Chain A
Amino acid sequence: MSDTQTVTEQQAELQIGYAGTSIPRKEDKRLVQGEGVFADDAKAHGMGYVHFVRSPYAHARIVSVDVSQAEALEGVYGTLTPDEVAQLTDPFFELSTPPGNAIEDYCLAVGKVRHVGEPVVAVVARTRDLARDAADLVEVEYEPLPVVVDARKAQDEDAPVIHEAPGTNVVWSGTFDWGDIDGALSAADRVIRIKELHFDRFSSTPLECSASLVEYDRGTEQFTIRSNHQMPGVAAIWMGPALRVPLDRLRFISQDIGGGFGNKITTHTYLTCCCLLARKLRRPIQWTEWRTDQHSANAHGNERWFHDIEVAVQSDGTMLGFKVKALDDCGAFPRYEPLGCIIWAQVTPGLYRWRNIRVDFTQVCTNKSPVAPNRGYSRMQQLWLTERIVDIVAHELGLDPVEVRKKNYVRADEMPYTTPNGCVYDSGDYARCLDIALELVDYESRKSSRGRSDGKLVGIGIGSTLDSGTNNFGQSTLMNPELQFSGNNEVATIRLDIFGEIVVTLGTVPQGQGHETTASIVVADILGCSPDDVYVRAGHDSYWNSHAGFSGTYASQFAVTGLEAVKGATEKLALEIRRLAAAVLGATPDDIVLKDKMAALKANPEAALPFMACGAIVNANNAVLPPDARDITLNCRHVYVPPFELPDKEKKYGNLTLTYATQVHACVVEIDRDTGVVEIVDYAAVDDCGVRIHPQIVEGQVHGATAHGLGAALHETFAYDEDGNLLTANFYEYHVPHALDMPPLKTGYIESPSPFSSLGTKGMGEGGGAAIHAVCAAIQDALRSAGIPGVVSDSHNPAERVWRLITNPEESSALVEVVST
C-alpha cells in the first residue's frame, strides 16, 4: 500500500478541501499587531503585585520568619508566610508509591527550603517596585544544611535527606525486564559495556515567563485565575484539594501563551499562593515570574544518568538487546514525577528491533530546581540512550553507524509493530526517512571529507527519534498500581448560531501551535464551508470551554486528540444540519449535501437551506419542525476517547501511546581542532507525522524542536556548583541560540498515515530531541574519523568538553569496553 494512495483515501473522508493546505493562521492578525492577550497583560482595578522572597540556600531549616517590617512599609497590602500556608492548605497530591508519596509539598517552603530560589514568603504591594522593596525587609533566618546536587550521591549512606517524611531521597524505583537480556548477552558475539552516559539538565525556557492575575469572589467563593498554565485541569486537581475547595471553584482563563513546552505545567504552587492572597487581602493579585525565577524555581527537564550499560551485539552489527541502570534526577520536588519513570517506556527500544531489554530505573531528589515535563519528556532521554548505544556499538565494531541503523531499524513492512513491552508503533518508514536525510546533506559526496581537514575535524551524524503522541494514562499504573488513571480524552464543541455563525470551542490550551487554524480546517472540510466561516474561540476558559480530565496542550497529541474531538463534534453537527434540512425540504438526510454554507438537495441544488436559516429555525422558530426533528439543537459536543486498554501491571506491558511520529536528522559538523568549537555546516531534518493537516505548522514545529535540540547539545545547561547555586540562572549565562547560531535547516518529509486516527494524523511537536542525538553523533563521528577514540557520553557538548574529547580521548574511551564472548 503506497503512502500516496492512503493519503488520498484519507482525504476523501474529509471532502478534499483545506486539509493539507497551509492557510493563513487565524492567530496571526492579533499577534503581529501586538494585540495578543498574554497572562501579564491582564490588569484589574485595585490589584496588588506579589513578589516572592526566595531561599538563598539549597538546603536549610527555616528558623524564623519576620514580616513585620515589610508590612509596615507604605503601599504594602500584606504577606503570606509558611505558617499560614501550613494551616490553610494541605500538601499537594503526590503520584508516587510509598515512601515517595509521603513527600510534603506546599506552595511555600514549610519548615525547610530545599533548593535555591524556593519561595518562602510572598509580599503584596500597590506597585511592582514597592513589592520588591518590601521583600528586602522580610527577615528569614536559616540554618544551612548539607547539600546534595549530584544524583549519583543521593543514595549514599551519608547523603543529606531532603524530605524527612519518606526518609529517603529515592522518589521511586522499579525494574523493567522484557525478553531475556541475560540470554542475549550470553549468546551475543560481542558485549559492549558502557560505564556511564549523562543526559544533561536543561529546559525549553519559553520566552514568556509564567504569570497570573487571580481574583476571588467573596460571594460565590470562586477563584478566577488568569494565567498561562498549559494544563489547567491538572492544576485544578492539585489545587482544589490543597485549597480545600471544590474544583469548580477554580476557573482558569488564558488566551495567548508565549510558549509552554511543558514548562507551564507545575506552576500550581505559585497559583495556590496567589489564590490564598486574593482571598486574604480581598483584592486581585498579580504575579509575574522573572527570567531568573523561571530558571531557578519553575521547571527543568529531567536529568538522567545511565550506568552499567551492557549491549548484546552480533559481529555483523545486529543488536540483540541491552540492559541499563537509569538514575533520574527530579530536583527538590517530584510534582508531575514520577510519571517520567514510566513514560520513557513508550519508546523503550527506540527505533530498533532488539527484543531483550532490561531497565533498572531509580528517581531521586536533589537540592536543585524541580523538573517538569519539558519538551520531549522522558522519551527524549531514552531515545538519546538508544542512539548513543548505536553509535558507540558501530564505532567499536568498526561499522558505519548509518548501516547499523538500517540493519536494526524496525521496517516499514513490520508496521504496526509491537515492541517488547507491548507498545504499538503505528506506522513509519525509518529507513526511507534516513535516506532522505542523507540525500539532503549530500552524504555520498561528504563521506570522503570525514576526518581531518585544515585544522578542522569533520563528522557526519544521524539522530533518529520518535515523537510518541496521545498517552494512555494507564501507564501511570505501571509506576503506581494504586493510581486511578487510564486512557485519554479531549473535547470540542461546535454550534451553528442563530445567524448561521459556526462557533467552536476546544478543550486544548495552545501556546503557539495554531489550534484555531487547524481546527477550522477540519470543520470546513466536513461542513463544506471555508475556514474563514469558522470561528474558533481563542484560548481556553475552563468555565466556557468544554473539557475533560486530560484536556490541555502537551505531549504531542493535538493532531489526534484535539482534531478527533473537533471532527467528532462537527460530524454530529453535520448530521443534525442534514436532518434539519431533510425535515424542512421533505427528504431524507442522505439526500442532503453541505456546500458553501448551504444544506441542499443533491438532486436539486436550487432547493437549499442556508446555514443561517438552520440556526434561526432551531433557536427561534422550532414550531415549524416536525416532532421527530425537535431534538436537533445544532449544538454538539464530542469527547474523543482513544481506544486504549488497561496495561498489565505485572508484566509492565501494554500499549502506552496511540501514535508515533518519526524524525530523522543528519548533521554535518566541522570542529575547530584547537578550540573545540563546533560549527554545523549542514543540517537536515526529515519528519513523518502521518497526514499533515497544515504543512507549514508542522514544519514550524520541526524547526523549533531542532533549535531546542541544538541549543541543548551545544549551548544550554542548568549547571550547579557544589553548594547548590544555579550558575546559569538567566539568559546572560544560559545561552540560547539566536539567529546567527542557527545553521540553515533543510527539511524533508514523508507521510505514513496512522491507522489509529481517523484523519491519519499523528501528534507531533515535541520532536523527540533528534537534534541532540544528531549533534552528539556528528561530534563522535568527527573524532573517530580522525582516529581519535573519544566517546561522546554527555548530551551537552560545549567547546571545552569537545576540546577535552579531542585532547584527552582516553578519559572518555575508558567508559567503553568491548568483550568478545
Chain B
Amino acid sequence: MPEPVTEQTISVEINGEAYEQEVEARKLLVHFIRDVVDLTGTHVGCDTGNCGACTVLMDGKTVKSCMLLAIQADGSKITTVEGLAGADGELTPLQRAFSASHALQCGYCTPGMLLSATYLLEQNPHPSEEEIRRGIQGNICRCTGYVNIVEAIRSAAEGNA
C-alpha cells in the first residue's frame, strides 16, 4: 500500500537522457523541466492550461506539462523541443518546414507547436487542412494568425512518403 509523500525522487527520461531528482509533490512538470533540468525550450504562456506553450510528448502522447505534477512523470519518457532534432543537430522536416514557411515570428509558441505538429503527423501522416487546424487547436499563437503554421505542417506532410 503506497504511502503518501510530500516529496520523492523521480526517474524520468528526457530526450533520451536519464534524470534522477528529488521533487516536491506540488512541483509542476513544466517547472521541473525548465527550472531543475534546465531545458528552457518548453515555455509557460498562461496559468489555466489553455495556451499549449508547455506541450511535451510524454510516453508518446502530447500533454500540457503545466497540468501534470512532475511526480506523475516518474518512470516516463518525455520529449521536449530540444529532443526533436537528430543527435548531429539535423533538423526534422517539420522544423525545416516551419522556417521555410515563416511559421514562426517570435518563436515563443514554436516549441509547443512543433510537438503538437509532430504528434499530429505521427497519428495522421496526411491530414486535411481542417485536421491540421484541429491538431494544433491547443496551441495558441499571437503572432502568425496560424496561416503559415498550417502551411508548414501541410508541406512537411507532403514530404511524407
Contacts and interface: CB of A to CB of B under 8 A. Distances in A.
A contacting B, Cβ–Cβ less than 8 Å: yes
B71 interface: no
Interface in B46-97: 46-51, 53, 80-82, 84-85, 91, 95
Contact of A208 (B80, B95, B99, B106): B106
A731 B50 contact: yes
B12 interface: no
B43 interface: yes
Contact of A514 (B46, B105, B108, B114): B105
A664 to B, nearest CB: 17
A24 B82 contact: no
A745 B145 contact: yes
Contacts of B145: 703-704, 706-707, 742, 745
Interface string A117-133: 00000000000110000
A732 B42 CA distance: 21
B131 to A, nearest CB: 11
B98 to A, nearest CB: 5
B43 A208 contact: yes
A732 B137 contact: no
A165 B84 CA distance: 57
B116 to A, nearest CB: 10
A700 B148 contact: yes
Nearest to B108: A258
Given A31-B107, A739-B150, A38 B40 contact: yes
A204 B43 CA distance: 18
B136 A739 contact: yes
Given A511-B106, A696-B102, A34 B42 contact: yes
B98 A28 contact: yes
Given A258-B107, A512-B107, A731-B46, A738 B138 contact: yes
A738 B109 CA distance: 12
Contact of B85 (A25, A33, A41, A730): A33
Contact of A703 (B45, B130, B147): B147
Contacts of B129: 744
A129 B27 contact: yes
Nearest to B109: A207
A34 B143 contact: no
A35 B82 contact: yes
A16 B47 CA distance: 49
Interface residues of A, number: 59
B29 interface: no
A24 B103 CA distance: 11
B99 A24 contact: yes
A33 B86 CA distance: 11
Contacts of B130: 740
Given A258-B43, A708-B142, A28 B50 contact: no
Given A24-B99, A207-B51, A736-B140, A32 B106 contact: no
B39 interface: yes
A600 B18 CA distance: 56
Contact of B144 (A129, A256, A700, A736): A700
Contact of A512 (B43, B84, B143): B143
A28 B99 contact: yes
A207 B45 contact: yes
Given A28-B98, A207-B45, A258-B107, A33 B81 contact: yes
A594 interface: no
A575 B46 CA distance: 50
B105 A738 contact: no
Nearest to B111: A34
Interface in B6-23: none
B46 A27 contact: no
B100 interface: yes
Nearest to A257: B106
The secondary-structure label for the interface of chain B is loop
B44 interface: yes
A513 interface: yes
A50 B102 CA distance: 36
Contact of A32 (B27, B31, B47, B95): B95
B142 A261 contact: yes
Contacts of A744: 129
Contacts of B82: 33-35
A511 B105 CA distance: 8
Contacts of A696: 102
Interface string A298-322: 0000000000000000000000000
Nearest to B106: A512
A738 B134 CA distance: 9
A554 B38 CA distance: 32
A290 interface: yes
Contacts of B39: 34
Contacts of A27: 107
Nearest to A709: B145
B41 A259 contact: no
Nearest to A293: B47
Which residue among B42, B132, B133 has the maximum number of chain A CB atoms within 10 Å of its CB? B133
B142 A513 contact: no
A207 B108 contact: yes
A736 B48 CA distance: 13
Contacts of A513: 105
Contacts of B45: 207-209, 258, 291
A40 interface: yes
A292 interface: yes
Contacts of A257: 106
Contacts of B132: 739
Interface in A27-48: 27-38, 40-41, 43
A256 B147 contact: no
A324 B30 CA distance: 51
Contact of A731 (B42, B48, B134): B48
B81 A700 contact: no
A704 to B, nearest CB: 5
B47 A730 contact: yes
Given A33-B82, A512-B106, A207 B91 contact: no
A549 B47 CA distance: 36
B120 to A, nearest CB: 11
Contact of A738 (B85, B108, B137): B137
Interface string A241-284: 00000000000000011110100000000000000000000000
A697 interface: yes
A259 B98 contact: no
B106 A730 contact: no
Contacts of A732: 48-50
Nearest to A42: B40
Contacts of B119: none
Contacts of A514: 105
Nearest to B85: A33
A206 interface: yes
Given A33-B85, A34-B39, A742 B146 contact: yes
Determine which residue in B24, B109, B138, B145 has the highest number of CB atoms from chain A within 10 A of its CB, and name it: B145
B44 A40 contact: yes
A739 to B, nearest CB: 4
A707 B144 CA distance: 8
11 contacts: A28-B99, A33-B84, A34-B41, A128-B31, A204-B142, A207-B140, A700-B105, A700-B143, A730-B46, A736-B140, A736-B142
Interface of A: 22, 24-25, 27-38, 40-41, 43, 128-129, 204-209, 256-259, 261, 288, 290-292, 511-514, 696-697, 699-701, 703-704, 706-708, 730-732, 736, 738-740, 742, 744-745
Interface of B: 24, 26-27, 31, 34-35, 38-51, 53, 80-82, 84-85, 91, 95, 98-100, 102, 104-111, 114, 129-130, 132-134, 136-150
Given A700-B105, A730-B47, 18 more contacts: A32-B91, A33-B41, A34-B41, A36-B41, A206-B108, A207-B51, A207-B141, A208-B45, A258-B45, A258-B109, A291-B48, A291-B51, A512-B106, A730-B50, A739-B133, A739-B137, A740-B133, A740-B137
List 7 tightest A-B contacts by C-beta distance, closest first. Answer: A34-B41, A258-B108, A512-B106, A31-B107, A707-B145, A34-B81, A512-B105
